[in-house]
Each structure stands twice: as C-alpha cells, then as structure tokens.
Structure 1
Amino acid sequence: MARKNQKRFEIVHPDCSGIDVGGSEHWVAVDPEKCDDPVRQFSTFTDDLIALADWLGSMDVKVVAMEATGVYWIPLFEVLDARGFEVYLVNSRATRQTSGRKSDVLDCQWIRQLMTYGLLSGAFRPADQICSLRSLVRQRTNKVRDQAKTINRMQKALTQMNIQLANVISDITGVTGLKILRAIVQGERDPEKLAAFRDGRIKADRATIARSLHGNWRAEHLHALDQELACHDFLEKQIGECDQAIAQALARLPVLEEKVEAPGKSLRSPHRTSDEQSVLHRALNKIMGVDLTAIPTIGIDTALVLASELGPDLSRFPSAQHFCSWLGLAPPTRISGGKPLPGKAPKIINRAAQALKQAATSARQDKSFIGASHRARLTRMDTSCAIKATAHQLARLIYAMLTKGQPYVEKGLEAFEEKSRDRQLRALERKARKLGMQLVKAA
C-alpha cells in the first residue's frame, strides 16, 4: 500500500535539455512532450553546432546541461552561451547511472531528467574575458615547464662530458652560464677563455670555474647540448610572446580600482625584469580590486595564476567554506557511522589550489603571522598536511579580500604569540577544572 505522505520530486527546470558530449558527435535530449523526436544527433562541425542551438531555441529550451568531457565541450559551450542559454557544465560523477545501462541516447536523456528536477549543479567557470586570460597563463606555464626540461637535458649533456659547471654556479641559464654554453656550442674548448665569461656576482673564482670546464667534449653530447640550447632560446622567445599576450588581455579587462599603491615587498619572478613586474602588479591590482601580493608568500606569479583561474567575482561561492571545498583544500568529510571511511578522497586537480600550495611551501621561513602559523602546524602534523592547511588559510584570506574588497593587514609575529599564549592558558584552565583545581596568576 502506497504511503499517503510520500514526497515527490519537484520540477525545477521544465524547459531544459541534456547533452551527451563526444569527440565526433553530440546527442541531445529535450522534453518528449514537445516533439515526436526528442533525441537527436549532431556532429561536432560548426554548422551542426549552430543547428543544434537553433533546434534548442525552437523547442523553447532555457537551460542546457552537459558533461565536462575532455575539451570537446568547449566549442559547444561557447556557442550555446553566446546564444543566451543557461549552460550547466556538470561533473560526470554526478550523472553516473545506477542501473548499469549505458548508451549515448540513454545518457543524454538521463542528464535531462536529472536537470529537470534540479539534481545537477554547474561547475564554476569565470567570465569569458577571464577564460581568455586563463588560457594564455596556462600556455605560458606549459612553456616554462618545457623550458625546465630543456635545462635538465642540457645539464645531462654537460654531466656526460664531465663538465662540472653546475657545481660552481647556481644557475647554468644565468648570465655567466649562458655565455659559457654559447661559447662551447660555437667551438670554444679552452677552459681559461670560457672562465673569462665569469660575472662579478659569481661567488666561485675564475680558477675554480676553469677547473670545472675540463671535459671529454664528445661529439654526440655536444650535438645534444647545441639542440637543447637552441630549444631553450626558442622557448624563451615564446615565453616573452606569452607575456605580451597576457599584458594585452589584462588591458582589455574591466578596471575595479584605479588607485594602485606600490607593493610592500620585493617581487621576484624569473623571466621578468623589475619593470615588467611593476607593470604586471599594477594591472593585476586594477582588475582584481585588491593587492593579492600583500599576503605573505604570494608572489606576482601566484597572483597572476589566481587572477586567471578565479577572476575578481567569487559570488558563485556563498561562503569561504564553499570556496575552499571547490579548491579541494577543505578538511575531508568522508565519514559514515561516526568513523572516517577507508581509502583516499577523489583527487581534485585545481591550478589555483596548486598555486596556493606552492606559496604555502615558502611560508616556513617567512617572518609573518602566516609563517608562524605554518611553523606551528609543522610541529604537530606532517609536511603535506601542514602545507594544505596553510593553503587553506591563504584561500580564506583571498576569499575575504575579493568579496569584501578589503586590503590585507599583517598581524605580525606578536599577534600569533599572543594568540598561542591565550590558547595554552585556556587549555591549562580546562585541565585544572577537570582535576578540581583552579589556576592562580602569580603576583
């Protein structure tokens, strides 16, 4: 016998559609009451994407839900978003069918059904101009990563020739290192002449550098060094082009703050001069409305990644807890029956969270409130957990700055020591009460 008070799902989005995204074709489902053929197939060609949008418009569809499948969803998302549809990009884990039956037709119908009852939530995607900046910053990151690989291969070639240059200078791609490498590629083999390229800022003397440049000079290793040095120079040029494109993208973004103050700390960044860093700092402050580099351990590169991944508008996140959960920095909640579940939580790849974790690693030597907090965490937990907790602290600060528009105010080491002293005092008072005693302050 059916229960009288049985609750039913309420229809939240009556005019919605579900799309199963693929590499060569898209399957689209609409309300079967609107037409005789509610499921249709469209290819991924641009004219078919436009036809898909026209058909959804003729069906009076207002909301579209699609899975985030690789990068295949991006052209379709942009077409539908430009046509005025409310597009939800949903996680594939949320649309997994429990029956085990799976096909493209069933998937798009299942996505539409879940969206109809409001059971799907869309992924965070910043404004279109921020997405353009994000693509450029990610491209630059890829080029920097590729350049690091070429440096490792140059070092490998030098080691195979027993050239111990890396043991006497800190960076083989610095001023001295590049001059020596270019001279080697051009045919110079005399260690004394190569050591003459020593810059005055190098700590090692000229004789030590000359000793490190005695090697076997095998032809195959010289060939590898020549090619990797050419690849390094080519990538250096491309990184500069990426910086120019990023500067142009920043200039096109709306300005939230006209008045920009000079940074309160020295900004250090590879591949950028001090003037380029100052220009980038002013541009980021204008579009974000606040100075993210005022937070200790956050440099200009980290601020650029955060600006490109998040943008200035965090209204999609109701609270700092929601924001940290999206970053994957929130404490785990895999609990059932009052006990933590075994196994690891799903891995979340978030570039903004990775940038914050990288910034947290440098907090160990920082003489600030955040640095003291990080050192205190390292005394009671392992390094990875402490880094994640410090990144969580940075994320809460960033959320407060972007949502409230308030600048960062450094509390200092004295504030942390006072807070720690109060915490210890409260702990002692609790222990005293449990033992039936009372703490008395010494005169």
Structure 2
Amino acid sequence: MEKGRIVILGAGESGVGAAILAQKQGFDVFVSDFGPIAERYKAVLVEKGLSFEEKQHSPTLILNASEVIKSPGIPDTVPIVKQLKAKGIAVISEIEFAKRYTHAKTVCITGSNGKTTTTMLTYHILKKAGLNVGLAGNIGNSFALQVATEEFDWYVLEISSFMLDDMYDFKADVAVLLNITPDHLDRYEYKLANYAASKMRITRNQGPEDCFIYCADDEETAKAMKHTKIQSRRYPFSIRKKIEEGAYLEGNNIHININQEDQLTMSISELALQGKHNIYNSMASGIVAKVLDIRNATIRESMGDIKNIEHRLEHVARISGVEYINDSKATNVNSTWYALESVNTEVILIMGGVDKGNDYDMLRDLVKEKVKAIVCLGKNNKRIHEAFEHDVEVIVNTFSAHEAVQVAYHLAKKGDTVLLSPACASFDLFKNYEDRGNQFKMAVKEL
C-alpha cells in the first residue's frame, strides 16, 4: 500500500535519521538540502537507495509532499517553508514523526542552558538503574534512526525550542524545563515572550498521569506558566526556598521528595558536576529518577561518578599554574554568565563569534569582578569592544584558536584561568562549536 510522499528538508543527523525511518515505514521519501550534504550522510543516503538533492530546494520535487519533516536549523521564514505552509502541507519535526512509531516513554529536557548536561546525567542515572534507555534529540544519534533500528523502552531526549515549534501531537511523559533566558531571539521576532511560549510547548498534550519538572527560581518560567494550561503533575526545584513536592537546597544538602517516605538527601560536595548551575541540573535529573522509582543508592552513585561533557566547562590542562577551560558550547550570553560564575580565580576570557543579537549587560558585573583581559575570537568584535571597553583594561582581537591561546598565555599569570566561553555561535571561523573547542584544545596542548 502506498503511504504517500514524505519530503525531508535538511540532510544532517535528524534529516537522514527521519529518511531511514520513513523508508522503513513504506513512504516514498525524498531528501532536499539547500547546502552541500556532508560526505558521511551522503554515503548513508546512497547506501539506502534514498533519492536526494543538495545545494537547492526544487519546488517541483517538494511541493507535492503529503508531509514534510524539517530540520530544526531551518527557520520558517525560508521561501520553501513559506510555500509549503501556503499550500497547507504539514511541516513537522523529526521528533514528532519518530514518536508515531514507538511505544517507548520519553523524558524530554529543554531550557536555554544546562539541557545537554541534564540530559546526559538523566540518561546516565536511568542506564545505571538498568532501564532499557536510548539517548537522542539534540544529542547523539537521531531519535528517528533509533526508532527505526533499536527497541528501547525509554528515551531521554534533549529538545530545543526549534524542535518544539514543529511538534503537535507529540507528548512528553516526563517534561523538564530548566530555565528561560534570551537565546535565538533572531528566530522569535526578538520577543522573549515568543521564545518562552515555544519552550512551554514541552507540556503540550500532557495529562494528569504525566509530569512537568521546572525551576521555581526562574522568573521567565513563572511568567510563561501563567499563560499556559498545564494538566500534568508539577514538581518544582529551587535553591532559594523549601519545596513540599520536588527538590530544594538547604545548607549544603539537596533534598528530593516525591513521596514523603522515601526522600533522597545528598550533600552538594558529593556531586561530580560542581557549580551553582549544576545543582539545578542535578535536582532536575534527581526528580526524574525519583518519578521513575529509581533507588536512592543508584541516584546518589550516578550523580557522584558522571563525567563532564566535552566543550562544557571542560578542564583541558594546567600549564605553569594557569588553568585552561574549554566552554565552547557556551553559544549564548547566559551560558557565559554561568561559566564566569563557576570560576573562582581571575580570568582571561576568550569570547566572540557570530553574535545572535546578544545583550552583554548581564555579564558586566562578573566581568568587572573577575575578568582582567578579553581575547576576542571572531571576524567582527565591535560589539564586544563597545560592551566592555570601560570594564576591562585589555581587549585584543584574534582570528584563530591558535592565536587566541597564544595571546591568552602571555596575558595570564600563575593562579589565573584562561576560559574559552564565547557567548556567540562559531560559524564565522569554525565548522561548529565542537570544531572551535577542539582547535582550542589542540592549541593549548601545543603550549
């Protein structure tokens, strides 16, 4: 039986995964990428006999689709998407499509900051507890590919606002919203309320049997919740106040209480992931684990032995008493704020790249307090100079990771920290934030 034509826009991890699943489900599949397709993805498409085009979107091959799966990186404003919507053709995300073909339950984690760490930690706890669990979304292998090739009972999914925008019937069994801070506002008409509404879609379709875990200390989340009808059970977490059902910090101890008889208490000194932001991330993961009835001993052990993720406050080396930290994953101002907040020494800050309409004001106090020099790494550093010229004595422009590290090395004194935390996207000088982080690490190792 012919199921109809599925067109996939974007041939990256999510697009190729969606193509494989759609093919397996018996659809007529066509993949279209406006840019060149990476060799490793092209090889998969060829091997599977999937038809595709690159460096163009041909309307004649796309506008005859019964449904379109769009890569999260493609905005709704591109001409082909506008044409599809004008014709009334449904445009959905890979996550929406994949969920139709699995009975697995999902833990979905979103937020402006901390979602990768929280996703990794949650996955680590569930795996350690012996659950048959997959890891997907913004991280690892595509969800659709795993639905096509694996048989998991649970998935931990890292979900971005772009993915949420194209989700309609999808439901998270356990939804986590860590925080809402200005990010990607270029995609939301520069309105924080639009971005917040997008994040709240994580609770869409949830019923009383589902859970919504959120940060009680986050003002924007509180505002957004007032405008959202939430039907699931709510479990807040806070480091400022006592929470009856959820998690909170008291002194140096985290308390997680979902059912009163079996409360988990853990000292923050036992956490493998240190820093204030990681207390939040650990509380969120801990609530997920308790909701799934995972033993306290397993939760405690997992939170104590997880390894930090690459490119997120990753220790690279200590050279002549100077600490080098790779936080290349900090592609927005708020992430850089977290990074500065977690460092307790004087800092040589390497920042810059493609500015997404950044407001650097929130960094000002921390920069005054901790940063003695800024090394700009980007093609256009004008806005960084304008933002910090009165707060920092030295601001230097560099145009490669090697040059940035050399300059930082000469500016740093024993006891300082050289921190790569760009607050910007990487596409001006690098392939992506991983490439930027790897080049930084290589340059440090050459010192």
TM-score over 0.5 (shorter chain): no
TM-score, scaled relative to structure 1? 0.27
Higher strand share: 2
TM-score, scaled relative to structure 2? 0.27
State which structure, 1 or 2, has the greater radius of gyration over its C-alpha atoms.
1
